[in-house]
Structure 1
Amino acid sequence: MDTPKSSKLEIIIPAFRGHSQSFLMVLDGISEEDGLKRIEGRTNHIVWMVGNFLDMRYAMGSVLGLNEEFEFKDFFLQGKALDENLEYPSLQELKDSFHKISPLVYNKLLEASDEDLEKAFPMGMNIDFFPETVLNFVGMCIGREDYLCGQIGLMRRILGYEGMKYDFDENMKY
């Protein structure tokens, strides 16, 4: 495992890499057509979930100092609600974006210092037990990624796909 500059990220680094793997495995075999299906008109579709996952990656990158812009941000920025009138990007376009941003964010996580992570990052939550810092924002993003992979996994099964396989690619370094 790569060693982060800040020991505060020792739990985040494996989670980030694990989520990268889960993201690709949970999407394995999902057709473009099925990526846009909703259940009884009540759920988000997989494409929206994937875009929201990527919005988290770009947000993490931004708070860590990256200047990369998510080309599809207008669809997904800050959990923007699904709009059935929009033509969303394809799963393949979103996967391409994932492979672009993920190694950049991973490197920023490895390079972050304790001072970088302790910086204030106002989120407007105003919760006593939750200091609004860069570190806690990164933690929130990691939690959201985990949630979204679970949601996509459930959609996989509802749409008739087999459960996600855990075929980790040890050569993928992000």
Structure 2
Amino acid sequence: MDIPKSKKLDIIIPAFRGHSQSFIMALEGISEEDALKRIEGRTNHIIWMVGNFLDMRYALGNILGLDEEFQYKDFFFQGKALDENMTYPSLKQLKDSFHTISPLVYQKLLEISDEELDKAFPMGMNIDFFPENVLNFIGMCIGREDYLCGQIGLMRRILGYEGMKYDFDENIKY
């Protein structure tokens, strides 16, 4: 396993890699058509969930110093509500973005120092038990990714796909 420069990320590194694997496995076999289906008009579709997952990855990259911009951020930035009148990017396009940004973010997570993690990062939460710093923002992004992977997994079952497999691919290093 890769060792991060900061011991504060010992739990984040495996979570990040685990989420990458879960993301890939949850989307396995999902058709482009099914990725746009909503349940009774009440749920977001998988494309929206995937786009939000990627919005988190790009946000992580930005706070870690990457200049990469999410090509589809106008659809998903900061959890932007689903708009049924928009033509969303394809699942393939979003998967390609995932494979572009994820290794870059992963490398930055390995390189960041304790001092950089402790830097203030205002989020506007104003909660006394939640210091608004880079480390906690990373934790929030990881939590959001976990939530979205769970939603995608649930949607795959609702849409009639078999449950997600946990066949981790050790060749994916991010």
TM-score class normalised by the smaller sequence: over 0.9
Cα deviation, 1:4-36, whole Å, max 9, x if unaligned, reads 000000000000000000000000000000000
For residue 68 of structure 1, report the CA deviation from its aligned partner: 0.3
SS of residue in 1 equivalent to 2:33: helix
Letter of the aligned partner of 1:172 in structure 2?
Answer: I
For residue 109 of structure 1, report the CA deviation from its aligned partner: 0.1
1:55 aligned partner: 55
1:102 aligned partner: 102
Give the distance between the partners of 1:47 and 1:24, measured in 2 at CA.
13
TM-score by length of 2: 1.00
Give the distance between the partners of 2:117 and 2:18, measured in 1 at CA.
21
For residue 42 of structure 1, report the CA deviation from its aligned partner: 0.3
Segments of 5+ residues of structure 2 without an aligned counterpart are: none
SS of residue in 2 equivalent to 1:21: helix
Segments of 5+ residues of structure 1 without an aligned counterpart are: none
Cα deviation, 1:46-75, whole Å, max 9, x if unaligned, reads 000000000000000001111000000000
Give the distance between the partners of 1:172 and 1:30, measured in 2 at CA.
20
Give the distance between the partners of 1:126 and 1:61, measured in 2 at CA.
24
SS of residue in 1 equivalent to 2:127: coil
2:92 aligned partner: 92
Which aligned pairs between 1:58-137 and structure 2 lie closer than 5 A? 58-137=58-137
Cα deviation, 1:106-144, whole Å, max 9, x if unaligned, reads 000000000010000000000000000000000000000
Give the distance between the partners of 1:120 and 1:142, measured in 2 at CA.
18
Letter of the aligned partner of 2:135 in structure 1?
Answer: L
Structure 1 consecutive aligned stretches of length 4 or more whose deviation exceeds 4 Å: none
Number of aligned positions between the proteins: 174
Q: 1:150 aligned to 2:150?
A: yes
2:24 aligned partner: 24
1:5 aligned partner: 5
Give the distance between the partners of 1:32 and 1:49, measured in 2 at CA.
14
Could you tell me the percent identity over the aligned residues? Answer: 84
Give the distance between the partners of 1:20 and 1:158, measured in 2 at CA.
22
Cα deviation, 1:66-121, whole Å, max 9, x if unaligned, reads 10000000000000000000000000000000000000000000000000100000
1:160 aligned partner: 160
SS of residue in 2 equivalent to 1:122: coil
Give the distance between the partners of 1:53 and 1:10, measured in 2 at CA.
22
